[in-house]
Structure 1
């Protein structure tokens, strides 16, 4: 920046500061002058009868002086606007008081708006860019209506709205109109309350009907205003669509994976008329290419079977579970199942292969799909994802797996035990990056024992053709290495399916993670359209999709009479390797990142009788508690049956049970579940009071005589 530019910017800043000071002094002088005329806030509160007499004697002068006082107070953003509004009702009545306050408050708000824009904008934008970026997005999306919605929410102080709006790009005309409209409901209620108070006399009843109504409206404003705001927003949102007079269905569910199946089941259970739409296989990814086949493959590999037998077990598992998710079963439950491609044409219409279905509500459960990165040469090489892996007929002699998350680790162990030479490549410095270091180390040790070559800190650069076939070119710092393979498995994550069924045309927004944006009740931008499962996030677990599916169905069917909000207090996750890794709630790494003071209690399976009896003592249990409390923040288990053991901690976190309660629970002997009581006992022992134990020792000494 040149010296000239700096000088000009400095002069503009000085001029604005002086202008703001001059405006403030002028308005303060006006307030003082008006107060000398007997219309100050203190006088309003202390001598209402005298003020009414003055106004009656000089109605026009009184009206103009009060109008000026109100404009001055609002433009300076000083406290007392509510008192002034009540006073307007008491002095001028409901009609004149409402007119006075409505225009005076809007004019004063506009002056505050202009002062903020010309004097404070550069200063505020430089220090709070993220805040104003969010406000600008709201204005860009909804225009002046965004401001109206803020005006209708009494939680947001009016003076704060004035100043914040002035720092945005909103036009003055739009601001004024939005203020005039948005503040009118509150103005009417406050003015009416003031007029009601003015009717109190020494000979009549104190609680007149009008005063009671005014006070009730005043109390109801914080509750009614957000609903009025939402109603206006909804009306504006749906304005471009034609709402059917009658509906074919109560609910249409898009997607027959875990979330969609549960949503359809719940809807049919409460006797709603529901249609379930699926373009692919019933059961979704979990049944056909995810949880079921991967766990069947792991089990077959653990049992020592060869690849062909393992694949046969996978197909048998899918066939055995498929009837649970079949068309026949759901039609037997009363669900209409349509096979085809669904497109949302309006908030009340879903077309299936071009055939429209009108519906009161929609649940989107479209799931997710494997993410394949744009690695040069990958498309021409023999590669697979978690969806296409099950089409392989022969065991790959050399398998390279890209991604060290749960899927990558599970498949690395399974194929290594089935006989492949497996290389696992992870860009991060360790496997399972969301887990604590000791958990990542336990996984790495387990895979290494099975013969998996682990390369962490390596970044995939390209896939090249070699004389022997193909190789993955990976870079570690400045060095590169070629990893030959017969098959490459891409397991670096999944992305939500958010295109191809009408979200774009409806303008339904997405989050930065590319999931559908929903509120805490799983509602999208349109209150009658819900989303659940992988497409909604924030977790990509089958059990979470099913959990959300039930809430989405209930919310869709019973809004606006009831709202249903899922709780994410205790979300379990399991990696089904040997040993299993299971976690619920926070771990030490996440607690530290959030600044939570926590304590870790650890129990090793080497001390557990059942583990010793079976000769399998690998693993441990760690429990994270808030410092000085037995409240469980999270638990991690590494070892056999970790996923089964985790249920005890999941229930405890969900229902607020501390370690003291778990310690007092009876567990059968000998079982691995005793580890839950054991770790609770270790926590209790570590937190025993030394002073209390000393008193007990003396007590028992006394009893011995």
Structure 2
């Protein structure tokens, strides 16, 4: 049975662990999908390239209020799609080639297949090409196997074509109508992409608001604005789906009772699940929490000595910047077990690149109150800053939550243009424990730039 010093399962953020310091160790990498992981191939990067294109395509719809009359003349979907994946696919294949052919990786062996634990630090690999299985043991194992879209149990679904975020971006042609099931960040980002490119979009969400994990005011505002652009069906579930000619027919149950909806394409975006079941984690002695995530401590150690985990396989956030941070922690701790470093998950920010954009870090007002904290809350509208006037933005706002009297910022939530960029100084303030009064008054804020939204919100806190 082959044995290696280090076994790495997954080639997303885990692939970045292999620095020059590992050159003297034998390494095996197992990848069941496309080299490079979720973010590169079907997640963050292609979706944001589509989002930017969608933002440009959506500009004519709102330009007239500024006195500029524009039209969207044509959307060349094959060109859009091929431009994006024409850049991404070579990166994925180039990463694979580097690990398999470059002299720097003479100590690395890549196995393309599915790894399943059969004992502690022992796996059986089922090759993608159907070849014979292989068993492998290792002194240390890094599990970075990621996650995948969740497929709900909808009657009839197994007999009809449908899409997830893994496949929807590679459509041959744009449909006339797209139905999106889900109300989170994947659903709303892709709804924005396709609606901006001229597709009629219906969003079906089982709860009463979109982006319901956000601050309640942000979620309510986003839902209100989404309803103006898309056919939003709240408190609605899909009871059944069937093929109806060239279309799909969905049977829905909602506030209006049972209804039917015909659509050209169906996108399921109701969440993601970790790949722990594909790994048969319990066979490797690895404990999981009720959500199916691998249990890790602050050093990213699993419950088995010598086995580490990072990213979506163990993280409740499922964010690339979290996976990258955890990869750096694991890299250090594998190389320097005598001086381990702990991961910092105190203030994990996230963003939704829909329209409008949303960004958040820390506690919501509801969460802070639930913890019995006396808080000060500030709200600042884009419409009340000079650059907001320039954009004629009447819907966006920033909301800050601080501990009353201490100046400690507990949470920040922004909905509006460039929200993911605007929130960054607030992430920094929380991470380095800066007083909100110091942030607001201890530096220059460029006038009349958009960060005045943040400055003016900070000045309201006490």
TM normalised by structure 2 equals: 0.86
Task: Tell me how far 1:558 sits from its aligned partner.
Answer: 2.8
Distance 1:621 1:310 in 2: 33
Cα deviation for residue 367 of structure 1 reads 0.3
Which position in structure 1 is the counterpart of 2:167? 388
State the shift of 1:644 in Å: 1.1
Q: 1:300 to 1:630 in 2, by over 3 A?
A: same
Corresponding position: 1:435 with 2:217? no
Deviation at residue 476 of structure 1 after TM alignment: 1.7
CA positional deviation for 1:660: 1.6
1:592 aligns with 369
Equivalent position to 2:285, from 507, 518, 530: 507
User: Does the 8 Å contact 1:363/1:553 carry over to 2?
Assistant: no
Corresponding residue for residue 423 of structure 1: 202
Equivalent residue for 1:115?
none
1:340 is aligned to 112
Cα distance in 1, alignment partners of residues 122 and 246 from structure 2: 55
Residue 456 (str. 1) matches residue 234 (str. 2): yes
Partner residue of 2:404?
627
Shift of 1:611: 2.9
The equivalent of 2:70 in structure 1 is none
Trace 1:176-325 onto structure 2 (pairs within 5 A): 248-249=4-5, 251-258=6-13, 260-265=14-19, 268-269=20-21, 273=25, 274-304=27-57, 305-319=75-89, 321-322=91-92, 325=95
CA shift, 1:503, in A, is 2.0
Q: Distance in 2 between matches of 1:282 and 1:324?
A: 9
- Given that 1:292 and 1:317 are in contact with CA atoms closer than 8 Å, whether structure 2 keeps it comes out as no
1:296–1:313 CA contact under 8 A, matched in 2: no
Say which of 603, 617, 633 aligns to 2:380.
603
- Greater C-alpha Rg: 1
Residue matched to 1:118: none
Give 1:651's aligned residue: 428
Q: Could you say which residue in structure 1 is the equivalent of 2:142?
A: 363
- Sort the Cα spacing of 1:650 and 1:549 in 2 relative to 1 into closer, same or farther, 3 A: same
Does the CA-based 8 Å contact 2:35-2:93 persist in structure 1? no
- The 3 A distance-change label for structure 1 pair 376 and 350 is closer
Q: Which protein has greater RCO, CA pairs closer than 8 Å, 6+ apart?
A: 2
Distance in 1, matches of 2:242 and 2:23, equals 58
Mind listing any 5+ residue stretches in structure 2 that lack a counterpart?
58-74, 128-132
User: Aligned equivalents of 2:163 and 2:30: distance in 1?
Assistant: 27
Q: Measured at CA, do residues 340 and 645 of structure 1 come closer, stay the same or move farther in structure 2, by a change above 3 Å?
A: same
CA, structure 1 residues 438+543, in 2 after alignment: closer, same or farther (shift >3 Å)? same
Contact 1:529 1:556 (C-alpha < 8 Å) held by counterparts: no
1:696 alignment partner in structure 2: none
CA gap 1:430/1:466 in 2 versus in 1, 3 angstroms: same
Cα 1:389/1:332, change in 2 over 3 Å = farther
Q: In angstroms, what is the RMSD of aligned CA positions?
A: 2.6
Query: Once the 2 structures are TM-superposed, how far is the Cα of residue 474 of structure 1 from its aligned partner?
Result: 1.4
Give the alignment of 1:481-520 within 5 angstroms. Answer: 481-520=259-298
Greater strand share, 1 or 2? Answer: 2
CA contact (8 A) 2:408 2:433 kept: yes
Aligned equivalents of 2:308, 2:50: Cα separation in 1: 35
SS of the residue 1:340 aligns to: strand
Quick one: distance in 1 between partners of 2:124 and 2:97? 19
| Greater share of helix | 1
Please report how far the alpha carbon of residue 574 of structure 1 lies from its aligned counterpart in structure 2 after TM superposition: 0.3
Deviations 1:59-107 (A, max 9, x none): xxxxxxxxxxxxxxxxxxxxxxxxxxxxxxxxxxxxxxxxxxxxxxxxx
Per the alignment, residue 544 of structure 1 pairs with 322
Choose the corresponding residue for 2:349, options 551, 560, 572: 572
Deviation per CA, 1:641-678, whole angstroms, max 9, x where unpaired? 11111211111111111212211122333322232222
CA–CA distance in structure 1, aligned partners of residues 208 and 368 of structure 2:
20
CA contact (8 A) 1:298 1:410 kept: yes
CA contact (8 A) 1:261 1:325 kept: no
CA contact (8 A) 1:635 1:649 kept: yes
Counterparts of 1:584 and 1:396, CA distance in 2: 36
- Cα distance change on mapping 1:329 and 1:578 into 2, 3 Å: farther
Q: How many residues align?
A: 434
Q: What is the rounded CA distance, in whole Å, between the counterparts of 2:395 and 2:151 in structure 1?
A: 35
SS at match of 1:303: helix
Inter-partner Cα distance in structure 2 for 1:435 and 1:301: 23
Whether the 8 Å contact between 1:575 and 1:582 is mirrored in structure 2 is: yes
Compute the TM-score of the two structures, normalised by the length of structure 1: 0.58
Q: What is the alpha-carbon distance in structure 1 between the residues aligned to residue 178 and residue 428 of structure 2?
A: 40
C-alpha distance 387-570 of structure 1, shift in aligned 2 (>3 A): same
| Distance in 2 separating the partners of 1:621 and 1:433 | 17
The superposition leaves residues 270-324 of structure 1 with CA deviations (integer Å, 9 ceiling, x where unpaired) of 7663443323212111111111121111222222244333222331342475478
